[in-house]
Structure 1
Amino acid sequence: MTNVFDAFSGTDDALYGPLPDPAADAGFAGDHPKRVGFFTDTSVCIGCKACEVACKEWNLVPNDGTDASDLYRLTGMSYDNTGDLGASTWRHVAFIEDVRPHNTATTGHLPSALPAVSGGPVPGLPRDAATAPPGPGGSSSGTIDLLALLPDSGAHGQQTPDDERDVRWLMSSDVCKHCTHAGCLDNCPTGALFRTEFGTVVVQDDICNGCGYCVPSCPYGVIDVRESDGGAHKCTLCYDRLGSGLEPACAKACPTNSIQFGDLDELQATADARLAELHGLGVEEAQLYGRNPDDGVGGDGAFFLLLDEPEVYGLPPDPIVTTRDLPEMWRNAALTAVGLGVAAVASFWPGRAKRRVRGGTRR
């Protein structure tokens, strides 16, 4: 296990930076299982919410409301009825309706794994239709009119006429990132949060005292305290299923394989190949999020392929573990304490007796 003095001296990566094996750093023997995680490919997410339902059913997560009148917490803004991750929402399917003035939105490419509505250009196609990625030889493989899917009643709250706006749907199933450097774990005073042999981060309900220190420590705003029991809760990556050789419930239920589970190194290779495929199809805005081990949390155990900037999905563009600056803070505090101590000693140190000569007499 990491020596705390090495961490604060800056000679170890216990609090920030790349960490090849978080489980070994937590004290597990070298023969522990390989690190596992999630790769969520948002380009094939259809927003069905099967992952949300499977997560709640398997983990017995209560409804998102606090009472019967708030049972489903309908936002009234979109099909996204949960709004965000929380103590009772361990999987959150985000529905992003990207509506902008015409010619200002990024082209909404159809995922290559899904068929286009038609086999080629359609005469008289509205100019707001999203086009599929170019096929071999630069020809379009098909088109689909996104605006035709919207109701004419203005239920989406848009005041701009249909022919003056561009609309694109983005969907993504968000989850706890199981960070390499988990601020929630580092700041837990009771040890309720711990690193498993699979490299994941889990809350022990019977040890958590509900202090809430973990909540502001998470750079993603994932973990939260549940009002009904006073404890902190978040995704466990189905720790009980992992111990039995089963994949997490959400990945098992995903019908499009948008949520992929497996050894983290294999998932990273799969994600790199998928990103290269999308770039080759002309989807230049596609990017991986949480894949980089040199980012502010040392890379995530659950990472994503996004079709736009992280902010569009409600994700922080540059997450940083809250303990990253602890070594420097403590070093500065120590230097300040030493300086104050030296000043205090100097102010009370007995000086040499002053000698005065008055009328030929020395004192």
Structure 2
Amino acid sequence: MGFFTDTSVCIGCKACEVACKEWNAIPADFPDGGFTGTSLDATETLGANTWRHVAFVEQQDVLASAGSGDFRWLMASDVCKHCTHAACLDVCPTGALFRTEFETVVVQADVCNGCGYCIPACPYGVIDQRKDDGRAFKCTMCYDRLGAGMEPACAKACPTDSIQFGELDELRERADARLAQLQDAGVEEAQLYGRDPGDGVGGAGAFFLLLDEPEVYGLPPDPVVTTRDLPAMWRHVGGAALTLLGAAVAAFVSTRGRG
């Protein structure tokens, strides 16, 4: 199961943020003044207390060449990507992170020891630690709601169906059709992000239709699972250890022979 987020119909209402916080009892993290000073975005990034974040990207002069104005807003509701090859799972020493029966990735807060290894492992910078106790938190795709046959709170609250929830294969077909529709209408910059199962994270469980390059939305253009080289590294370590062990045994045998 997963998310397809069509940013072309996002209106920036932040209903998904509010629904996520309410259902999951996530603490508020708004700045003292109510806004950050960097546009109308009051939360700014994903974090331990912001599992859904609606980005406001203000663009000037991008439409002037087309004669249709000199200003536009890009809105996009970001979330954990629930990677097929999830580096956070690879590095977690306690099993606090696990893959569910829905192929989503969840953190068990009561098992997390606050080591923080998962933080730098995430290629998207999604996971974060709460300052009061150091434990890691992120989107669970409303695991408790899925178990009860309900859709995640964010998708339920979205008034424009920008956030769509369902089986990934069906969502990919829907995304392909939507992309073709936009491109046929002349929106040449429209593109899918995280849709390809052959990408650097094996495909995302939450993917997006964007109206500009991923970097504009604060997304890495070519994300790669950060632990992809671990198997090779362990093989090299094992080979080196065997070589050292062989040298030690040879030295011991040689010493005994001289004795």
Do Structure 1 and Structure 2 share a fold, with TM-score over 0.5? yes
Match of 2:148 in 1: 244
1:112-191 superposed matches below 5 A: 131=68, 145=69, 166-191=70-95
CA distance in structure 2 between the partners assigned to 1:198 and 1:49 by the alignment: 26
CA deviation after TM superposition for structure 1 residue 129, in Å:
7.4
* 2:8 counterpart (26, 39, 43): 43
* 2:227 counterpart (292, 314, 323): 323
SS in 2 for 1:303: strand
CA distance in structure 2 between the partners assigned to 1:211 and 1:342 by the alignment: 36
How many aligned positions are there? Answer: 257
Match of 1:96 in 2: 57
Residues 278 and 185 of structure 1: is their aligned pair in 2 closer, same or farther, counting only changes over 3 Å?
A: same
C-alpha contact (below 8 Å) 1:63/1:71 kept by paired residues: no
Match of 2:17 in 1: 52
Spell out, residue by residue over 1:339-358, the C-alpha distance to the aligned partner (whole angstroms, 9 max, x if none).
334444555653998xxxxx
CA distance in structure 1 between the partners assigned to 2:56 and 2:199 by the alignment: 26
Spell out, residue by residue over 1:118-166, the C-alpha distance to the aligned partner (whole angstroms, 9 max, x if none).
xxxxxxxxx57764xxxxxxxxxxxxx4xxxxxxxxxxxxxxxxxxxx3
Residues 256 and 350 of structure 1: is their aligned pair in 2 closer, same or farther, counting only changes over 3 Å?
A: same
In structure 2, stretches of 5+ residues that fail to align are none
Say if 2:50 is the partner of 1:85. Answer: no
Residues 48 and 209 of structure 1: is their aligned pair in 2 closer, same or farther, counting only changes over 3 Å?
A: same
CA deviation after TM superposition for structure 1 residue 94, in Å:
0.3
CA deviation after TM superposition for structure 1 residue 332, in Å:
1.7
C-alpha contact (below 8 Å) 1:64/1:88 kept by paired residues: yes
Match of 1:332 in 2: 236
Larger radius of gyration: 1
C-alpha contact (below 8 Å) 1:128/1:167 kept by paired residues: no
- TM-score by length of structure 2 reads 0.92
Spell out, residue by residue over 1:55-80, the C-alpha distance to the aligned partner (whole angstroms, 9 max, x if none).
11111110115xxxx44663201011
CA distance in structure 1 between the partners assigned to 2:20 and 2:67 by the alignment: 33
CA deviation after TM superposition for structure 1 residue 87, in Å:
0.1
C-alpha contact (below 8 Å) 1:287/1:308 kept by paired residues: yes
Say if 2:203 is the partner of 1:299. Answer: yes
CA deviation after TM superposition for structure 1 residue 262, in Å:
0.9
Residues 294 and 341 of structure 1: is their aligned pair in 2 closer, same or farther, counting only changes over 3 Å?
A: same
Say if 2:40 is the partner of 1:75. Answer: no
Spell out, residue by residue over 1:294-314, the C-alpha distance to the aligned partner (whole angstroms, 9 max, x if none).
111100110000111111110
CA deviation after TM superposition for structure 1 residue 338, in Å:
3.0
Residues 72 and 219 of structure 1: is their aligned pair in 2 closer, same or farther, counting only changes over 3 Å?
A: farther
CA deviation after TM superposition for structure 1 residue 328, in Å:
1.0
CA distance in structure 2 between the partners assigned to 1:326 and 1:258 by the alignment: 37
* Counterpart AA for 2:132: S
CA distance in structure 2 between the partners assigned to 1:177 and 1:309 by the alignment: 17
Could you say which structure has the higher helix fraction?
2
Match of 1:204 in 2: 108
CA distance in structure 2 between the partners assigned to 1:203 and 1:72 by the alignment: 31
* 1:308 counterpart (208, 212, 230): 212
Spell out, residue by residue over 1:181-237, the C-alpha distance to the aligned partner (whole angstroms, 9 max, x if none).
111122111111111111111111211111111111111000111112332111111
SS in 2 for 1:350: helix
In structure 1, stretches of 5+ residues that fail to align are 1-35, 108-126, 132-144, 146-165, 354-363
* Counterpart AA for 1:87: A
CA distance in structure 2 between the partners assigned to 1:94 and 1:220 by the alignment: 15
Match of 1:220 in 2: 124
